């Protein structure tokens, strides 16, 4: 099924302009002062489809086919692309294949279109490394999934610590990815709103299909925080929320 990623906070143009900032631990394990990185203009309004990853008969990624698809999509008025999401079958790809997928999409995307790369690793350290690889491959932002293997330990506090640490060290802005139908883990609107105060966490893609939770996130989070829906069944009412 083809789900669309669309902004639920603004019906007009939403361009997030910010200095992505990262922190590094000092020798005592605390934070150094936040250092400004180069300016990013990240468009998150409109439709950013989750790009499917094409394979050939041998089971290898068809990078030429992927590039052809993106060039065709460029003609449809999309705002950008989400690589390595659930529909992109990132779980079936090697780290090298993931990087090459992002590179191929970025290279084929029309100028000005946003490329968001999924970060699907379950440990904080691995997620940081994946965000760095995504940045090196050309991604504009990282879509970071909730850890889920040890579900009983995924408290609000544990999830918050994970996303804070990833955002501290990611060279590109972070979007929280809430997709409980795949992970079995739900991140609450209150936790999302708390994370929204982090300077390098710029939004959430909520694919749970819970309109009430999206409305609560919009109510609690700062107006500058992008709230996006990844569930086509509630796309229209989400847009009507503002």
Which neighbouring-strand residues pair with 145? 177
What is the distance between the alpha carbons of residues 215 and 8, in angstroms, rounded to a whole number? 9
Q: What separation in angstroms does the CA of 60 have from each of 101, 176, 217, 232?
A: 12, 29, 39, 29
205: annotated active-site residue:
yes
Residues 198, 170 contacting (CB under 8 angstroms): no
Q: Which two tokens stand for residue 171?
A: 């060279």
What is the distance between the alpha carbons of residues 71 and 56, in angstroms, rounded to a whole number? 19
What is the distance between the alpha carbons of residues 190 and 125, in angstroms, rounded to a whole number? 25
Between the CA atoms of 38, 74, 96 and 180, what dihedral angle is there, to the nearest 10 degrees?
Answer: 90
Residues 174, 132 contacting (CB under 8 angstroms): no
Pairing of the two strands 40-43 and 15-18: antiparallel
Which residue, chain included where needed, has tokens 């990240």? 42
Which residue is catalytic, options 71, 151, 165, 205? Answer: 205
Q: What separation in angstroms does the CA of 10 have from each of 110, 168, 225?
A: 23, 27, 10
Residue 33: which H helix or E strand, with range?
Answer: none
What is the distance between the alpha carbons of residues 14 and 27, in angstroms, rounded to a whole number? 39
Q: Report the catalytic residues.
A: 205
């Amino acid at each position: 099924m083809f789900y669309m990623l669309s902004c639920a906070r603004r019906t007009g143009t939403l361009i997030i302009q910010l200095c992505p900032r990262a922190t590094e631990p000092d020798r005592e394990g605390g934070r150094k002062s936040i250092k400004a990185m180069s300016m990013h203009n990240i468009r998150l309004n409109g439709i950013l489809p989750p790009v499917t990853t094409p394979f050939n008969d041998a089971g290898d990624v068809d990078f030429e086919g992927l590039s052809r698809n993106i060039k065709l999509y460029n003609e449809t008025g999309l705002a950008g692309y989400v690589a390595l999401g659930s529909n992109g079958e990132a779980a079936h790809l090697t780290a090298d294949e993931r990087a090459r997928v992002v590179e191929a999409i970025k290279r084929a995307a029309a100028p000005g279109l946003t490329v968001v790369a999924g970060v699907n690793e379950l440990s904080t350290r691995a997620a940081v490394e994946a965000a760095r690889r995504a940045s090196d491959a050309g991604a504009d932002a990282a879509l970071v999934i909730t850890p889920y293997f040890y579900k009983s330990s995924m408290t609000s506090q544990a999830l918050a610590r994970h996303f804070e640490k990833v955002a501290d060290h990611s060279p590109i802005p972070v979007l929280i990815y809430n997709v409980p139908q795949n992970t079995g883990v739900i991140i609450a609107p209150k936790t999302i709103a708390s994370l929204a105060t982090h300077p390098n966490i710029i939004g959430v893609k909520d694919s749970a299909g819970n309109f009430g939770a999206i409305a609560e996130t919009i109510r609690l989070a700062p107006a500058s925080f992008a709230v996006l829906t990844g569930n086509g069944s509630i796309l229209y009412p989400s847009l009507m929320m503002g």
